[in-house]
Amino acid sequence: MFLKYKNNWLLFNQKKPCVLCRQTTENPDAICSGCAADLPWLTLCCNRCALPLNSTPEHPTLCPDCLKKPPPFTQIIAPFEYRFPIDQMILQAKFNNRSYLLPPLAYLLADKLKQSMTEHSRIPDLIVAVPLHPSRLLERQYNQSAILAKIVAQQLNIPLSNNLLIKQNKTPHQASLDHKTRQKNLKDSFRCLSTPPTSVAIIDDVVTTAATATEISRLLLRKGCQNVDVWAIARTGKELFF
């Protein structure tokens, strides 16, 4: 009996290798401090859509697109730019069955959100992952956004719903489409199954053109939600748009 408990203790308390450099680390995020420091942290961005900006403004600012046409969501929060190695980690997790790369990113996102909540005192009533169409879920065997959402919800102690939204139309992969086609591709592809609470946070892996965030936000607002935040691991710079 003692040996059994000893083995269990060793299993759950041993040092973990960093998912990037494979060196051992005591960091529960499984990314060592050295690698974390080298990640493409998003430090300068639009206060609304989190689009990376090239110059440092004197005051908090919005990008030209958000000034011209404010999006339906309140704010996008993402800790990273969609650059190496974050881009490769997300691609490997989504398309090469390496879901073990997602938890380390989810913990870093949760840390970013804790800081934001402390500064702005805005806590959503519910967290919702961007849903996959059932056929896509069957093909991939897991929803990468749902894995992120579960960890973030636990870390922030916010309720999580897996049945508020569904994706009712199977659409082509967004990565193969340009900005305008992405918006048309997603129109009416999501469905809200019940009345959402006042404030909802949507979790996705990466925001590129914000077409998905825009479509889901509009849907939730039509259903009675008053505030929609979007939380993602990474935000793509405009120079990388198709």
Look at residue 239 in the predicted model and tell me its pLDDT: 59
Look at residue 144 in the predicted model and tell me its pLDDT: 96
Look at residue 238 in the predicted model and tell me its pLDDT: 73
Write 69-72 long-range contacts (CB < 8 A, 24+): 71/210, 71/213, 71/214, 71/217, 72/214, 72/217, 72/218, 72/221, 72/228
* Chain segment 34-75, per-residue pLDDT in tens: 899 999 999 899 999 999 988 665 556 889 899 999 999 999
In the beta sheet, which residues pair with residue 229? 75, 201
pTM over the 0.85 mark: yes
Look at residue 186 in the predicted model and tell me its pLDDT: 77
For 147, residues 6+ apart whose C-beta sits below 8 A from its C-beta are: 99, 102, 103, 106
Q: Residue 107 above 70 pLDDT?
A: yes
Q: In Å, what is the CA distance from 93 to each residue of 38, 45, 100, 152, 237?
A: 20, 25, 7, 17, 21
Helix %, strand %, coil % of the chain (to 5): 40, 15, 40
Structural domains in the chain, CATH included, are 1-38 (no CATH), 40-55+72-240 (3.40.50)
Q: How would residue 24 be classed by pLDDT, with cut points 50, 70 and 90?
A: confident
